[in-house]
Amino acid sequence: MPIHKNCQGMRRRDCLSLGLGALLGGGLVPALKARAESGSEKRNTGCILIWLDGGPSHIEMFDPKPTAPAEIRGEYEPIATKVAGMHFSENMERLAAISDKFTILRSVCHNQNNHGAGNHYMMTGAPTRIPVSCGAFVSFHPSMGSVVSAERGAPHNLPPYFSLPSITRSGGPNFLGARHAPFVVSDDPNSKSFRVRDVTVPKGLDDGRIGNRRQVRDKLDQLARFQDRASGDPVLGADQNYQQAVSLMTSEVALRAFEIERETDAIRDAYGRNTLGQQALLARRLVEAGVPFVTINNGGWDHHSNIFPAFKGQGRNLEQVVATLIQDLDDRGLLDTTLVVVMGEFGRTPQISTLPGSTTPGRDHWSSAMSILVAGCGTPRGQVVGATDVRGYAAVEKIYGPENLVSSIYLKLGINPDKIVYNTSGRPAHLVSDPRPIAELMG
């Protein structure tokens, strides 16, 4: 089999490219009917997407392979969960204890084996139209967060779409326009000096001076604008960002949502006094205030090397944060209206390898198998959907694609995934390339 260099200049074996099967257990029409009957279109639902950038290993998380050879099963043992017959890697101990609160998908797969294309496919439900490089930031189609922003909006002058601490590779609005880009909170909420930039009114500016400045700007805005949507006027985008910032500065609900110090020490300690833990807590506060979509962009999951020590630290920190978030939402009665999704762009190769130039083993990119956690918003609890083969190479039961996952998320947020939208050239485009949801997620 030929070998190539990946995006980090490391050599790896090619991954299998498997076509997606048509084993879809449910259709769009029943899901839309069920959504309408349940009244979910009118519910104040929200989503917290914890994006594990780089592609987390399914074997070290939710799909252990104890009967596989040592070079596949790795260093960690499977452990029983609260649900009979369901087993996770020993790294997922906290999540195993509350496995009756969420679903694990083991059979979502695709054929985009590099970060750029894989990220785009999982974030948008649409494959890239042309080949892209592994490290590319790709935007051929609006991201889930931007679509939710356009379709749902948010109350109290809050931006409908947040991303912490940065935007993902394919997390932008594309033809939906700058106003549906995420509001990025780059500062660390674990810091004692945490503040949301461009939201606090600068010292020395009273309400009168702010009003005068807005009047001057409004007069300038009466000048002719270049408004060719196909080419895009960057000034229009700047105007939208300005208006968003002013709205935030005058919204008491928005400002209170950012005041993470209002939380008790017990809650903050439970999430973990670290960046990811406090980002998850801030995300909960945002959806509680009415924000419909929050992404936490958590990097460092491209484990071509050092994978086993990484999961002892990074992996266990993640599972503590996710377990606390799900439990906290459930305790507050928010899990019924808040969707939690934990995923990356793909899984990792079952075959462990030590790449040239590395001294520790790891796993490479692998889009033929991955594990995804989904909780809340009516998602059935305590189930595993699909399966991979005995060595973790490929999804073999109830095979779904990114389109079906994204369609499921849209439906849970009251959005029709079969909607036609129009790009900057006026050409129609489907929100999702296949609008059929994952039946087992819809309840």
What's the confidence (pLDDT) of residue 205? 53
Instruction: Give dist(CA 320, CA 324) in Å, integer.
Output: 6
Please tell me the least confidently modeled range out of 99-108, 130-139, 255-264, 365-374.
130-139
pLDDT in tens, 275-309: 999 999 999 999 999 999 999 999 999 999 999 99
In this structure, how many other beta carbons lie within 10 angstroms of the beta carbon of residue 90? 18
pLDDT band at 9 (very low <50, low <70, confident <90, very high): very low
Answer yes or no: is pLDDT of 39 > 80.
Answer: no
What's the confidence (pLDDT) of residue 209? 53
Domain residue spans of the chain: 13-191+263-441
Answer yes or no: is pLDDT of 36 > 60.
Answer: no
Average pLDDT over residues 208-234: 48
CATH code at 13-191+263-441: 3.40.720.10
Answer yes or no: is pLDDT of 59 > 60.
Answer: yes
pLDDT in tens, 385-443: 999 999 999 999 999 999 999 999 999 999 999 999 998 889 999 999 899 999 999 98
Alpha carbon 363 to its chain centroid, in Å, reads 22
pLDDT band at 202 (very low <50, low <70, confident <90, very high): low
Answer yes or no: is pLDDT of 14 > 70.
Answer: no
Instruction: Give dist(CA 130, CA 141) in Å, integer.
Output: 12
Q: Are 378 and 86 spatial neighbours (Cβ–Cβ below 8 Å)?
A: no
What's the confidence (pLDDT) of residue 252? 85
pLDDT band at 6 (very low <50, low <70, confident <90, very high): very low
Q: Which value, in Å, is the radius of gyration of the alpha carbons in the chain?
A: 22
Question: In b/e form, how buried is each residue of 352-374, taking b as 16+ CB within 10 angstroms?
Answer: bbebeeeeebbbbbbbbbbbbbb
Strands (E), 389-441: 395-397, 420-422, 428-430
What are the structure tokens assigned to 255, written together? 């400002």
pLDDT in tens, 338-361: 999 999 999 999 999 999 989 999
Instruction: Give dist(CA 46, CA 38) in Å, integer.
Output: 16
Average pLDDT over residues 163-181: 96
pLDDT in tens, 238-254: 555 656 666 677 678 88
pLDDT band at 218 (very low <50, low <70, confident <90, very high): low
pLDDT band at 208 (very low <50, low <70, confident <90, very high): low
Q: What percent of the chain clears pLDDT 70, i.e. is strictly above it?
A: 79
Answer yes or no: is pLDDT of 7 > 80.
Answer: no
